[in-house]
Amino acid sequence: MHITLSEKWLFRSICLGHFIVDFFNAMGPVILAFISGHIMGLTNTQIGIAVSGYQMAGAFSQPFFGLAADKTGGRYLSTFGVLWTIAFLIVSMIGATTGIYALMLVPFVIAALGSGAFHPIGAMYASDHDKARASHNTSLFFLSGQLGGGVGPTVIGVLLDAFATRNTIFTDSLGPRFSNLLVEHGTLTPIAVLGLMAVPAVLLMLFTMPNRMKWIETHPPRVKGNGGMTSPLATGLIVYLAVNIALRALSNPGSAAFVPRIFALKGWPASEYGILTGAFWLSGGIAGVIFARWATRFGSRTVIAVTLILGGPLMLLLPSADTVGVALLMTLLVGALTGGSHSLLVVMAQQLLPARKGFISGLSLGYMFGMGALGTLLIGALGDRIGLEAAYQFVGIVTVVSGVMALRLPSDEALASSAAANAAHQAALNELSVISAEADAARA
């Protein structure tokens, strides 16, 4: 398959857009941990509610945006989705300066709808870019996002520390009545300035993504049939795959929200736990590209299973890290082993409904992040009851269980065969539809 220059720039634009949107997505837990220590006290449960609300809003909206993208190509949904996320995160930070939890929480959760609009559309174009290398290209797309997820918390952590240190000089001299007042305003400026990063990505996507008419020309409407699932394999796999994804989501992305909280409670500064949070996401993205290559040699289910089984014990031990060096090493390993299988699971789900790639991309990503959101809420509640260290031990055990379950997932060959059968069935339906239309026209 020959890839044109415009298609290459389209792929680059969605990767850049993914970098930007996840840059801001991933900084949320770091900001919440900082707010808890410098602006207003937040419990583990409140942090869990905010992060899980953000994740659920972004997750459960994705299938609907994916359906729209199947019909229109999603050019404007994806571009304005990036801007939406940044705008409402800024509004949320303004709300945080009031000290009222609800004024911070509501726009914080609403911001996730922009991320929900972008992700299924980006994943759809990534796997459609070169069908012969769908897993590899999808892993590069997710690497771009996790690079943003790695850089975002690190950058915001350093900036928050810099502004907090500078403003404390004044607030200490003014007395407790003015405590944190200038720090609150200081946290807003870096986020607003960083928002300008989105401009090049948005413009590039607008110029390279197809408009609605061009999309319809290259992706004709699907003829109604059985939804693209003709194989019994697809029907049985959905339930099993859903359970496996739900268990895995507890470790990644569910546990990521409390990585900064764990080390903030140890008294570490935002610059340090920001780096650790960034390392968690970054390592998962890099591992995704490596795992995609390994999957072509050893099979997707083997790679998913082995990495999760290895990642579980490290997840269990992560809260016990007592130096930055040890914590960084463990965070890199946990992020890689629990997050590197992300693209493999998405491509596996896409093979179930190849004719409705936008919808299944949104459904799989939405479900994945939705289960992660529920996992975050569960970890937050457990953390308040039994402590975060014990909660992470529970997550580690569940991660091993999900790895063992992955051994029962179907092979890549079986999935490819199922996808080919579905595609052939859909092609036959389309051909019958054309013949029927021609016959009707002849009779008229």
Find the CATH number of the domain harbouring 411.
Answer: 1.20.1250.20
pLDDT at 186: 45
pLDDT at 31: 85
Give the integer Cα–Cα distance in Å for 248 and 258: 16
**Of the candidates 370, 319, 265, 401, which has an alpha carbon nearest to the alpha carbon of residue 378?**
370
User: CB 12: neighbour CB atoms within 10 A?
Assistant: 15
Model confidence band, residue 217 (pLDDT cutoffs 50, 70, 90): low
Range of the domain at 286: 7-212+228-431
pLDDT at 228: 44
Q: Does the pLDDT at position 109 exceed 60? A: yes
Give the integer Cα–Cα distance in Å for 356 and 124: 9
Prediction pTM value: 0.69
Mean pLDDT along residues 107-111:
95
Each residue's pLDDT tens digit, 128-146: 766 667 667 888 888 898 8
Model confidence band, residue 438 (pLDDT cutoffs 50, 70, 90): low
Distant-in-sequence, close-in-space partners of 18: CB < 8 Å, separation ≥ 6: 118, 119, 122, 141, 142, 144, 145, 148
Q: Does the pLDDT at position 394 exceed 80? A: yes
Mean pLDDT along residues 167-190:
49
Least confident window among 63-67, 149-153, 177-181, 273-277: 177-181
> Is 438 among the domain residues?
no
pLDDT at 439: 57
Mean pLDDT of the chain: 80
> Is 317 among the domain residues?
yes
Least confident window among 182-191, 336-345, 385-394: 182-191
> Is 440 among the domain residues?
no
Which residue's structure tokens are 């996730």? 112
Model confidence band, residue 420 (pLDDT cutoffs 50, 70, 90): low
Number of domains in the chain: 1
Each residue's pLDDT tens digit, 219-260: 555 545 444 444 445 566 778 888 999 999 999 888 988 898
Contact 209, 73 (CB under 8 A): yes
Mean pLDDT along residues 398-405:
95
> Is 222 among the domain residues?
no
Mean pLDDT along residues 425-435:
55
pLDDT at 235: 63
pLDDT at 28: 87
Amino acid (one-letter) located at 127: S
pLDDT at 335: 93
> Is 258 among the domain residues?
yes
**Of the candidates 142, 429, 427, which has an alpha carbon nearest to the alpha carbon of residue 286?**
142
Buried/exposed 166-200: b ≥16 CB within 10 Å, e otherwise = ebbeebeeeeeeeebebbbebbeebbeebbebbee
